[in-house]
Amino acid sequence: MSKVLVTGGAGYIGSHTVVELITAGYEVVIVDNFSNSNPGSVDGIERIVGRRPALVEADCSDYAQMLQLFKDHSGIDGIIHFAALKAVGESVVKPLEYYRNNMLSIINLLSLMKDFGGKHFVFSSSCTVYGQPDILPVTETSPLKPAMSPYGNTKKVGEEIIRDTVLAVPSISAIALRYFNPIGAHPSALIGELPQGKPDNLIPFITQTAVGIRPVLQIFGNDYDSSDGTAIRDYFHVVDLAKAHVFALDRLFKGNNRKPLEFFNIGAGKGITVLEIVKAFEKVSGVKLNYEIVGRRAGDIEKVWADTRLAESELGWKAVSTLEDALLTAWNWEKRLRGL
């Protein structure tokens, strides 16, 4: 059984990925500092798969803690690296925290992989590296744009650190998955997105508004170039995203990768407006959402969606869940959280 370290494995995307990895036969060690997650998600994972993954509470940006982890858990063959700070707005206010946390974590993990003989690295990257693309849908060879926030820059520089490392250290190979907008929760409603405080992202804001925790959803801008004036993103189910990580890891383990570092767009390949999301949510939940249109949010791009043909042809991965499925699972998760 191949042993995989999943950093941020108690978090939103991490916990869904751990479920898929264990189901696919990988042995998982989770490392998480619970800065934006909680150990309850590991209970959820255990209830879904019937087995509890090893869990280490540690901070990936702390080299001494990570060294100890590698000594305690020998034979880590692969790493999936989720653990990162990810609030775009906060990163503008606290750039050094973002650079310290997100960059040191990558550097520590790659150094320890080199020293302990780990081989395969899968990185959580983001469509944010493309900025506002000139041509849509965006492909992996589209030009990268200067990042619009320190958070976005940590993804861009993260990719560069990995690229330079795999070129210098032939034993390590890597895949960077550039996610578009993952949403939804596990169909069991045992794990899902659990933002601390006021959510930044659209779907948790919608579900919290629907249960009455938030009085009104603000829609940021209706003067964009789209059918209804609201911004366009490529939303897709988090369980599909979780599976993409298993496909990526399998590819590295089998040596099917064509280059030491490969990039794949991971999305549904379809652009959807904010108002379309609101309407689809109202339909699947039967709840009328209270919303208002306000000004644009600083730093938002107008529209982005993925060309996913490379992921399909090379990874053999494609998003299969519908938008309605994803929204329904997000809604069921929120209701379960609130005891409804």
Binding site for ligand UD1 (CB under 6 A): 86, 88, 126, 128, 152, 181, 200-202, 205, 217-220, 231, 233, 274, 297, 300-301
Assigned token pair, 230: 């609201």
CB-CB contact of 104 with 144 (8 Å) = no
Distance CA 165, CA 177 (A): 17
3-class state of residue 115 by DSSP: helix
Q: Which is nearer to ligand UD1, 69 or 203 (CB)?
A: 203
Q: Which is nearer to ligand UD1, 23 or 222 (CB)?
A: 222
Residue-by-residue DSSP string for 302-340: SB--B--HHIIIII-----S-HHHHHHHHHHHHHHHTT-
3-class state of residue 11 by DSSP: coil
Query: Does the annotation mark 291 as catalytic?
Result: no
Closest distance of CB 32 from ligand UD1, Å: 18
Q: Which is nearer to ligand UD1, 297 or 336 (CB)?
A: 297
Closest distance of CB 65 from ligand UD1, Å: 25
Closest distance of CB 97 from ligand UD1, Å: 16
Residue-by-residue DSSP string for 36-95: S--THHHHHHHHHHSSPPEEEE--TT-HHHHHHHHHHS--EEEEEE------HHHHHH-H
3-class state of residue 266 by DSSP: strand
Q: Which is nearer to ligand UD1, 23 or 201 (CB)?
A: 201
Q: Which of 12, 26, 130, 151 is catalytic?
A: 151
Q: Which residues are catalytic?
A: 151
